Amino acid sequence: MQYVQQVLFCIMATGAIYWFSKKVAEIRRNIFLGKAQDLSDNPGQRWNNVLLLALGQKKMFQNVPVAIMHFIIYAGFIIINIEVLEIVLDGILGTHRLFLPYLGVVYGWLINIFEWLAAGVIFVCVIFLSRRNWLKLKRFISKDLNGWPKTDANLILITEIVLMSLFLTMNATDQILQDRSVAHYEPTGNFFLSAQLIPIFEGLSDGTLMAIERTAWWIHIAGIFAFLNYLPYSKHLHIALAFPNAYYAKLDAPGKMKNMPEVQNEVLYAMQPELAPANAAPPASFGAKDVFDLSWKNLLDAYSCTECGRCTSECPANQTGKLLSPRKIMMATRDRLEDVGRNINVNKSFVSDNKSLLHDYISVEELRACTTCNACVEACPVSISPLDIIVELRRSLIMEESNAPQEWNGTFSNIENNFAPWKFSPDDRDKWATEMVS
């Protein structure tokens, strides 16, 4: 019987890891559908961003109570995985509490720490569920989250509560079986929190307790494998992608925009024709119309989005009732990228579906509402830049489609002819100073 359980466990583990790896490979492929971008400079500063922004969650601590709660879930997720390692090895080797003989009394201390973290995760998840569903904080009831995004967030929180409850149940029944000297249940020392659950189970027979303990064990590990494969389809993928996203974050001054070399060269060659290369091919396009035109970092941003809504809550355009929501920009980019990925999976290479990120997923009205103030970038806890995507799409609108409001066209014309947004000759720019002297 023990060998049958080991075989079943190995099949389950192998299947979970295979399907997870396959989806991860698809996501990596999708990200690198974007244009090349060299972000290998200043590795020291980049690793510093990983430590402060991803690991230390520096930006989250602008709201200390929420940051502490988020950190409890984050720490619980990472640290309790040490216990998961033991469970996996137990499942493969057919052992029970494999690390106990090697760690001795330290083992009991570790499990007690894990239990406190588990209780903290349960408590915080209940609070976060309340914030989303009963307190109805503004950024959690936005229409951006209607449908699946809201369900996704709730499902993850409920799953974490269930997994942590199973962990405590498993330990409580295990302690009773230890006290009864049942075979294979070696003494570990007392577990403080799960011991509080012992009165619920202590009247049960050994066989029933073993069934409950084994059921909790199997559901717990099966739930973790299910969570592993659900993760790539969820906004909680940021658990993994926050680290590379922080590493490859922009290091330029906040709000600095990247000029288009094609436009700069056009101006340069117009002023100095002798510098123009012979038979120079015109640029294929300006800005971005679809995900293929964005950089791979823009697409990594889309997959890293936590959908927390801090960007949208800080957006002045959104606050004044405009259609723009930076969170929705990131979600729409990810949706388009996933659709492109499914297209490639079916056809082996991308076959035109007569859709594009611009117009079909993100509207002109949204793009025009942006003031390029950079507030969304500053607010993001994992260094995502919705502004970069907005600017690239707007460049395509204007330079490829000549699609701009008349007021903008007047400004563009003045900049082209007068080198300033105003309709005054450059020769008259300092006239006001002359008039003051006279």
pLDDT tens for each residue of 29-43: 999 999 999 998 999
**What CA–CA distance (Å, rounded) separates 138 from 218?**
39
Confidence of residue 372 (pLDDT cuts 50, 70, 90): very high
**What CA–CA distance (Å, rounded) separates 304 from 54?**
11
Over residues 263-279, the mean pLDDT reads 77
Over residues 370-385, the mean pLDDT reads 91
On the question of pLDDT at 2 being above 70, the answer is no
On the question of pLDDT at 168 being above 90, the answer is yes
**pLDDT value for 432:** 73
On the question of pLDDT at 1 being above 70, the answer is no
Residues ≥6 apart with Cβ < 8 Å to 158: 125, 129
Secondary structure letter of residue 237 according to DSSP: G
**pLDDT value for 59:** 84
Give the residue, 395 or 136, on which the prediction is more confident: 395
Confidence of residue 70 (pLDDT cuts 50, 70, 90): confident
Which of the given ranges, 88-102, 153-167, 328-342, has the highest pLDDT on average?
328-342
**pLDDT value for 165:** 92
Choice among 158-162, 277-281, 352-356 with the minimum mean pLDDT: 277-281
**What CA–CA distance (Å, rounded) separates 35 from 33?**
7
**pLDDT value for 259:** 82
Over residues 214-242, the mean pLDDT reads 90
Confidence of residue 438 (pLDDT cuts 50, 70, 90): low
**pLDDT value for 94:** 87
First to last CA, the chain: 103
**What CA–CA distance (Å, rounded) separates 79 from 113?**
9
Residues ≥6 apart with Cβ < 8 Å to 357: 288, 289, 290, 291, 294, 332, 333, 336, 393
Q: Token pair 């697409």 is at which residue? A: 299
> What's the sign of the alpha-carbon dihedral 314, 317, 323, 325?
negative
**pLDDT value for 271:** 76
Over residues 60-74, the mean pLDDT reads 83
**pLDDT value for 252:** 86
Choice among 148-162, 260-274, 315-329 with the minimum mean pLDDT: 260-274
The answer to whether 406 touches 412, Cβ cutoff 8 Å, is no
**What CA–CA distance (Å, rounded) separates 287 from 398?**
9
Choice among 61-70, 298-307, 367-376, 420-429 with the minimum mean pLDDT: 420-429
Choice among 214-228, 331-345, 400-414 with the minimum mean pLDDT: 400-414
CA distances from 426 to 119, 129, 312, 423 (A): 69, 59, 39, 9
CA distances from 241 to 36, 58, 81, 128, 310 (A): 19, 16, 18, 22, 18
Over residues 287-294, the mean pLDDT reads 94
Over residues 264-276, the mean pLDDT reads 77
Percent residues over pLDDT 90 in the chain = 47
Mean pLDDT of the chain: 88
Percent residues over pLDDT 70 in the chain = 99
- Topology of 2-31+63-240 in CATH? Fumarate Reductase Cytochrome B subunit (1.20.950)
State the alpha helices, DSSP H only, in 140-205: 148-179, 192-195, 198-201
CA distances from 43 to 35, 248, 249, 250, 251 (A): 21, 9, 11, 12, 11
Please list the residue range(s) of the chain that carry CATH number 1.20.950: 2-31+63-240
State the alpha helices, DSSP H only, in 184-319: 192-195, 198-201, 206-230, 238-247, 261-271, 296-304, 310-314, 316-319
The answer to whether 57 touches 64, Cβ cutoff 8 Å, is no
The answer to whether 330 touches 310, Cβ cutoff 8 Å, is no
The answer to whether 168 touches 76, Cβ cutoff 8 Å, is no
